[in-house]
Homo-oligomer: A and B are copies of this chain.
Amino acid sequence: MTDAYEQLIAHERETSAIAHVAGRLSWDQETMMPRGAAAQRGEEMAAMEAVLHARRSDARIGGWLAELEGGQGGDPVRAAVLRHVRRAYDRSVKVPARLAAEIARVTSVSQGVWAEARAKDDFAAFAPTLKRVLELKREEGAALADGGDVYDALIQDYEPGASAAQLSDMFGALRPALVELIGEMRAAPQPPAPAGEFPEAAQMALSRRVAEAFGYDMTRGRIDKAVHPFSSGSGNDVRITTRTNLRDPFNCLYSTIHEVGHASYEQAISQDYLFTPLGQGVSMGVHESQSRIYENQLGRSRAFTGWLFGRMRDTFGDFGIADADTFYRVVNRVHDGFIRTESDELQYNLHVLLRFDLERAMVTGDLSVDDLEDAWNRRFEADFGFAVDRPSNGVLQDVHWSVGLFGYFPTYSLGNVYAGCLHEALRRDLPDLDDRLAEGDLSAATGWLRENLQRHGGLYEPREVIERACGGPVDETALTTYLARKFRNMYPQI
Q: Which residues of A contact B (CB under 8 A)?
A: 13-14, 17-18, 20-22, 24-25, 28, 32-37, 39-41, 43-44, 46-48, 50-51, 217-222, 235-237, 239, 274-275
B222 touches A40 (CB 8 A): no
Known contacts A14-B47, A221-B34: does B40 contact A237 (CB below 8 Å)?
Answer: yes
**Copies per complex of this chain:** 2
* Bound Cα distance from A293 to B32, whole angstroms: 29
Selected A-B contacts with CB under 8 Å, 16 pairs = A14-B50, A17-B43, A17-B44, A17-B47, A18-B44, A20-B44, A21-B22, A21-B47, A28-B28, A33-B237, A34-B219, A34-B220, A34-B239, A35-B219, A36-B237, A37-B236
Taking A21-B48, A37-B236, A41-B237 as known contacts, 7 extra A-B pairs with beta carbons closer than 8 A to each other, sorted by chain A number, are: A17-B46, A18-B51, A20-B44, A28-B28, A33-B237, A34-B219, A37-B220
B residues near A47, Cβ cutoff 8 Å = 13-14, 17-18, 21
State whether A40 and B235 are in contact (beta carbons under 8 Å apart), knowing that A21-B21, A24-B25 are contacts in the complex.
Answer: yes
A25: chain B residues at CB < 8 Å are 21, 24
Distance of A18 Cα from B51 Cα, bound (Å): 9
A40 to B219, CA, bound (A): 13
Report whether over half of chain A's contact residues are helix, strand or loop; otherwise say mixed.
helix
Contact residues in B for A220 (Cβ distance below 8 Å): 34, 36-37
Residues of B near A21 (CB, < 8 A) are 21-22, 25, 44, 47-48
User: Which B residues lie within 8 Å of A18 (CB)?
Assistant: 44, 47-48, 51
- Are B17 and A222 in touch, CB under 8 angstroms? no
Closest to A51 in B: B51
User: Chain B contacts of A13 at CB under 8 A?
Assistant: 43, 47
Kindly list chain B residues whose C-beta atoms are within 8 Å of the C-beta of A235: 37, 40
- Complex Cα gap A219–B25 (Å): 18
Q: Which residues of B contact A17 (CB under 8 A)?
A: 43-44, 46-48
Hey, which chain B residues are within 8 Å of A218, CB to CB?
34
Bound: A50/B13 CA distance, A: 12
Q: Which residues of B contact A33 (CB under 8 A)?
A: 237
Chain B residues contacting A237 (CB-CB under 8 Å) are 33-34, 36-37, 40-41
Closest 10 CB pairs between A and B? A17-B47, A37-B237, A36-B220, A36-B219, A17-B44, A14-B47, A40-B236, A37-B236, A36-B236, A18-B47
| Distance in angstroms between the alpha carbons of A37 and B50 in the assembled complex | 26
In angstroms, Cα B35 to Cα A28, docked, is 17
| Set B39, B221, B222: member contacting A236, Cβ < 8 A | B39
Which residue of the partner chain, among B34, B40, B275, contacts A43 with CB atoms under 8 Å? B275
The CA-CA distance from A219 to B35 in the complex, in Å, is 6
CB distance from A203 to the nearest CB of B (A): 19
Chain B contacts of A24 at CB under 8 A? 25, 28, 44
Output the least CB separation between A212 and chain B (Å). 13
Q: How far is the CA of A275 from the CA of B233 in the complex (A)?
A: 27
Closest-by-CB residue of B relative to A275 is B43
Q: Decide: A34 and B274 in contact? CB cutoff 8 A.
A: no
| Residue of chain B at shortest CB distance from A48 | B21
Most B C-beta atoms less than 10 A away, residue of A28, A35, A39, A222: A28
Contacts of A222 in B (CB 8 A): 32, 34
A5 vs chain B, min Cβ distance (A):
19
Q: Which residue of B lies closest to A219 (CB)?
A: B36
Question: What is the CA–CA distance of A40 and B32 in the complex, to the nearest angstrom?
Answer: 21
Complex CA gap A48/B18 in Å reads 6
Q: In the bound complex, what is the Cα–Cα distance between A222 and B36 (angstroms)?
A: 11
For the complex, give the distance between the alpha carbons of A292 and B134 in Å.
51
* Chain B contacts for A28, CB-based, 8 A: 24, 28
Instruction: Find the B residue at minimum CB distance from A239.
Output: B34
Residue of B nearest to A233 (CB): B37
Chain B positions within 8 Å of A40 at CB level: 20, 235-237, 274
